[in-house]
Structure 1
């Protein structure tokens, strides 16, 4: 056991208002063990034990694919991309794009054309940015680009040793296929007016490794928080047919896992405030159940529904600092599930990342429904272990479980599609109609193109 400190801003209103103490509250905490990370067997080191939420790529390997160099100048962007694709006989696996400067508009056009029209996975980077970085940061930037290139080219950077050994409770230990979902909704800014909100859902496709997540996106009414596209229906030939994001991802899982359907579902939901818990659980849990039932009569996998809160004012600090220069933040893996948590509900605070700058903010996990009957230790260790598998994390654990982070990335990527879609095609000129996103190309949809 370790001791942690809580610092929380509180507002007291009413007749009996009193002055709040400026002293922090002392709570019990514990540090979860770091998981073992597995790399390619061809490297000198194929396994590594992270220390303080970090490790290095020294003597480790993951697979890369070759890239054919081409240079184009003086042509329109869509013309250049189409020509590159034709020269590769429409079979280009990965396109590296060197951007002259930081130009979000050009970046958005490249991603929209590649991912919705041509079916090309792309990776952009900026040499100008590299030249301005310090030597140590330059190396880190290039390493991160390499990690994303490997991922988009179909490789796997690293996996949890316990995952491939099937030793993670509930997820892999019983040998029953499990799928992990992440869901998020991004809303338009005040400048974007009545632009639709965009919902994104990702799901793991590679049990038991759970490192590869397919993503789908859809639009819904501006400011609408409940994801309406999880399960829907449409009429075709006078017949009602099921459709929706959950159904699409479950069908992909079935196709990619030797016709196996997941026996369990773990659903991480982002962007929900506490006042919305009941409403979101009611509608989205129902949508999940309906989507499962349309795949096979009687098919009802057990679901664990977890909301992850990022925007809160709770901070944790260690009581003792023994080493000079030691970070004032708590150790990675620090979890608190007593005293400051809800007296009746299933929730906990987890700080899974090493805080190098500023004050670490723990994630607040609320388990709204748990049909899989996780123990607190099992669910806390699962969340902590998943934070060591983020494709962008490199050799550092992250603060947020990857499925939620990936859903956020996918939703923001879809914003570029919306910006590049002409108003006449998207329906933006008609106020009552919700603008539709262009369909992601079939050659791209099964990749982690959004990373």
Structure 2
């Protein structure tokens, strides 16, 4: 069987049903606009498009009950609260919360605020709410004693030792009564509702933020061992990622208020994050350098001395010093006078405790004498250092240095580095818990949070129920799978294999001119005989699946330089057959991403030929199942499809002359200033199985796809559809599946992307205006809703996850609009996550069971898998297109990958003046690569 790669679940921000601003989204503003912008969403509510009404509920399939990880909010405050702005100034300059939030936290904790507003709720930036109204300005002046630390604001400003003025200015009255009216559809969604929900969002965070380590809406518990009632479960909440790696994964809890059909609910879910292990600093240093022992670490950090007796720091020393900068540590040894005091690391000193000299004043004589740090600790504290030759650690506090072996990491501090493969494996093992274990963890965390004893909730009158919400769900009927020679009913297992099955559609042209190249001279490489053996099985399997193969390929060894090797393979294959190759297969000895990048960039942009990269070990193993899995991809690249579905009803069938469009925009990691990429694909047959697509740069972290990109990507694809699939007619219906947009960006999709699509289709059809109908569906996997089936309903698989086809459209869905949760796939491990679909435009006029069942059934048509996928294939293909199009960036291949999943050690906080605006185009050839499924 072949399974699609599903994204690993993280603890990213969730936006469901409503856009509520996170604390890290506050922006400084001018005085003229500050009042209007204060604690409001970043978009203009007046331009927000009204959600379409729900067209009833889906009644197809079988009714089942599921437990949702939400708790009903029994009561919430309805009295008004008052909002204040916290203004911090240094001299005549106003300090922004983005520059140093610790200054604002220090101001919030001052006595003036505590006396005047003891019930204050703080958003972590510059907004404060209170039930007390005071029109007069409250102010205080003090000397700030903070300093730079790892995290927000580092490198932007340093107010240490400077005079700071703090003022609280009244801004507005926030009416909380509008929440109930909005839920009952007696009040429209406007700024007043957003402000009221924003207050509740921070009210629910207030007490946990003071008790636990918080990151946005997630909380991690670092002191459970010290609590008698939780001491016996403390070990369940953290897991070391490898022996002595210096990194530990903590399991915490995420909580957020969600507006739902039946009122407000509190969404609780597992959260995970990686922190520095709370061990000795020396242990952390070994983990960061991958040193196996203390002596090895000392050798790695020992400076090199050249022939002129000049000391030179090693690269390991410089990198470690940079990685430790900003880390907070505490001294810990017998007799330490500062055991409760912490310091922030500035850097490592290129001198050891036995070398570095201190000037110590003799109290009896008053004279100064030189003494090494090692001797100082021995004489003053009777502490003999075990590693006197290890570099010393310098702190940001003037004149403070310590030996690394005397320092420990006590508080939770985020791990900012990319995990190694071993650490990633350990983290997946720890985080991928079965549904029953996840459910139990949520309940334990509910006990730890102890909402009933939360003083902030009690003061304002917010009460949370003790039992999770039970929701009514439907188990939709699964479709049958149609192959070229047989039909197959996978049932609720949602799995099948390809034994004895022919592809529904095979390659459009017989495979005549193709080439195979393989690298040698490496570990795990493949030899000529093994290539021939693999090729025998590969071609035999393709023919058994219905593929048309006329000739055996041209075969050659490939040289070390990948670019030159691809040129040789292409040229020699072309010479061997007298025409350009239809397919190039490259067998590589490792999973080197850089090699893959260069192969794909050459094949796509230099030669315009479909390519398939294979692992040598898998080819040597030469299992039939592997060949079949690869052939699904090869067949799709050559114009075929694996299977199609037989819809369960006429209502869920794709209507005649319909186009399915999928779109996604991906952004680079923080500090990587490559452009955002916008990908779009459209269906290329009447069944919505085959697709063609393209990609282009979309500016610097811009989510809404520009009109120019929609025209440039969609224009040629729609023209091709009209000439081939549409048989020179225009489409009557378009289904637009859009991924990755938050609620605040839906208006951009409807007001910018949808009109641009209409215009492109009209131009492709040579009409002034396209007269067809559109259906726009937003898909989102970045949420924290999970369902746990009732065992009595037999609605779960062997792991306890909901069966594929589980649809949830009641109890936990939005009080306004048409949305639903859909489990379309069978999770291989851990707890399955549903996709949250939101229908924001439906000119076609679907019944719920027509559109929702169609989306579910089409998930069985993903061309490179023998299981359904979790999200609609059009969106999945858009993800694949952006991943592959990263290889088309207009940079030298020798520069390596410019973006991806890496997390840089050193982040550039300033955006460069020039951001790449165009990708390299794919070369035109007889293969017509841009109009094929080149990305699968």
Q: What TM-score do you get using the length of structure 2 for normalisation?
A: 0.43
For the residue of structure 1 that corresponds to 2:558, the secondary structure is coil
- The reply on whether 1:204 has 2:683 as its aligned counterpart is yes
Deviations along 1:226-277, whole A, 9 cap, x unmatched? 0014667xxxxxxxxxx43232221111122221221100000001112211
Work out the CA distance in 1 between the residues paired with 2:698 and 2:256. Answer: 35
Number of the residue aligned with 1:214:
692
SS of equivalent residue, structure 2 residue 605: helix
Task: Decide whether aligned partners of structure 1 residues 357 and 218 sit closer, same or farther in structure 2, where only a CA change above 3 A counts.
Answer: same
- Residue 228 (1) aligns with residue 706 (2): yes
* 3-state secondary structure, aligned to 1:3: strand
For residues 396-407 of structure 1, the aligned pairs below 5 Å read 396-407=867-878
Counterpart secondary structure, 2:802: coil
Q: Distance in 2 between matches of 1:3 and 1:340?
A: 13
> What residue is the counterpart of 1:81 in the other structure?
569
Distance 1:59 1:148 in 2: 18
Task: Tell me whether 1:244 sits opposite 2:712 in the alignment.
Answer: yes
| Separation in structure 2 between the aligned mates of residue 64 and residue 131 of structure 1, nearest angstrom | 23
Partner of 2:735: 266
Mapped pair 1:48 → 2:488: yes
Q: Report the counterpart of residue 171 of structure 1 in structure 2.
A: 654
Paired residue for 2:589? 100
Which residue of 2 is the match for residue 110 of structure 1?
Answer: 599
Worse overlay, 298-307 or 377-386: 298-307
Structure 1 contact 114–120 (Cα < 8 Å) conserved: yes
Alignment coverage as a number of residue pairs: 421
> How far apart in 1 are the matches of 2:722 and 2:582?
24
Question: How do 1:39-438 and structure 2 match up within 5 A?
Answer: 39-41=483-485, 46-52=486-492, 53-62=494-503, 63-66=546-549, 68-74=553-559, 76-87=564-575, 88-128=577-617, 140-162=625-647, 167-169=650-652, 171-172=654-655, 176-193=656-673, 195-207=674-686, 209-229=687-707, 243-257=711-725, 258-294=727-763, 295-320=766-791, 326-394=798-866, 396-418=867-889, 420-421=891-892, 431-432=913-914, 434-438=916-920
Offset at residue 84 of structure 1 (A): 3.5
Q: Larger RCO: Structure 1 or Structure 2 (Cα < 8 Å, ≥ 6 residues apart)?
A: 1
Give RMSD over aligned pairs: 2.8
- Determine the structure 2 residue equivalent to 1:7: 69
* Structure-2 separation of matches of 1:371 and 1:323: 34
Inter-partner Cα distance in structure 2 for 1:89 and 1:421: 31
Matching residue of 1:439: 921
Q: Secondary structure at the match of 1:350?
A: strand
Q: Could you tell me how far 1:168 is from its partner in structure 2?
A: 4.9
CA contact (8 A) 2:699 2:915 kept: no
2:169 corresponding residue in structure 1: none
Structure-2 change in CA distance of 1:129 and 1:282 (3 Å): same
The structure with the largest alpha-carbon Rg is: 2
Distance in 2, matches of 1:2 and 1:130, equals 45
TM-score, normalised with respect to structure 1: 0.86
Deviation at 1:169, TM superposition (A): 4.1
Identify the range of structure 1 (289-298 vs 316-325) with the bigger mean alpha-carbon deviation: 316-325
> Which shifted more, 22-31 or 370-379?
22-31
Rounded Cα–Cα distance in structure 2 between residues aligned with 1:73 and 1:121: 18
2:482: which partner in 1? 38
Cα deviation 1:282-339 (Å, max 9, x = unaligned): 1111211222332313422100010000110000111116599822001100001111
Describe the SS at the equivalent of 1:307.
strand
Measured after TM superposition, the shift of residue 380 of structure 1 is 0.7
SS at the partner of 1:72? strand
Q: In 2, are the aligned partners of 1:85 and 1:118 still within 8 Å (CA)?
A: no
Q: Is the 8 A contact 1:214 1:249 kept in 2?
A: yes
List runs of 5+ in structure 2 lacking aligned partners.
1-62, 71-253, 258-455, 504-545, 896-910
Aligned in 2, Cα 1:422/1:59: closer, same or farther, shift over 3 Å?
Answer: closer
> What SS does the corresponding residue of 1:244 show, helix, strand or coil?
helix
Q: Name 1:448's counterpart in structure 2.
A: 933
For structure 1, which segment, 52-61 or 329-338, has the greater mean C-alpha deviation from structure 2 after superposition? 52-61
Q: How big is each residue's C-alpha offset from its partner over 1:102-149, in whole Å with a ceiling of 9 and x where there is no partner?
A: 1111111111111112111011110335679xx9xx665443212111
Deviations 1:151-174 (A, max 9, x none): 1122221112249xx9354623xx
Shift of 1:374: 1.1
1:419 and 1:290, CA in 2 relative to 1: closer, same or farther beyond 3 A? closer
Deviation at 1:17, TM superposition (A): 6.2
1:190 aligned counterpart, secondary structure: coil
Q: Give distance in 2, aligned partners of 1:99 and 1:302.
A: 47
Secondary structure of the 2:813 match is coil
Partner secondary structure for residue 387 of structure 1: helix
**Contact 1:292 1:299 (C-alpha < 8 Å) held by counterparts:** yes
Q: Secondary structure at 1:96's aligned position in 2? A: strand
Gaps of 5+ in 1: 233-242
Q: Is the 8 A contact 1:231 1:288 kept in 2?
A: no
Alignment partners' CA distance in 2, 1:230 and 1:370 = 25
Q: CA deviation at 1:65?
A: 3.9
